């Protein structure tokens, strides 16, 4: 599993461990994962996060994890966070200007 995020500074090991803890707590909450197909501009107004805005089509899928997360995405996805199980972040790297990727298993 991987996740991209924006940051102007390189995250520390302590921050990555804190992210892992937060993710595992959200998994335990068994939050529903739902999506809507909406025009790209509406998705942006909803506050959905995207990193490659120009690469998305006019109609996009926006995945919602309760009120906690809104993301542009192409899937695949789970129906509930509990389907994921406990994760461990084993790697993170810079993949662009102010853009990082974490890998978890």
Summarize pLDDT for 34-69 with one digit per residue, the tens: 999 999 999 999 999 886 656 888 899 999 998 888
Task: Give the span between the Cα atoms of 103 and 3, in whole angstroms.
Answer: 7
**CB 94, CB 81: distance < 8 Å:** no
pLDDT in tens, 24-39: 999 999 999 999 999 9
Q: How many residues does the chain have?
A: 105
Q: Select from 30, 64, 35 the least CA-distant residue to 47.
A: 64
Q: Which residues contact 97 (CB under 8 A, 6 or more apart)?
A: none
Report the chain's C-alpha Rg in angstroms: 14
């Amino acid at each position: 599993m991987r996740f991209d995020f924006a940051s102007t500074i390189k995250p520390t090991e302590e921050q990555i461990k804190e992210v892992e803890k937060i993710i595992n707590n959200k998994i335990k909450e068994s939050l529903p994962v739902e999506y809507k197909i909406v025009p790209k501009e509406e998705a942006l107004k909803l506050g959905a996060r995207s990193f490659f805005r120009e690469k998305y089509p006019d109609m996009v899928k926006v995945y919602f994890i309760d009120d906690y997360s809104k993301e542009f995405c192409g899937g695949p996805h789970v129906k509930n966070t509990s389907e994921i199980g406990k994760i461990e972040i084993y790697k993170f790297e810079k993949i662009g200007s102010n853009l990082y990727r974490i890998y978890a298993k």
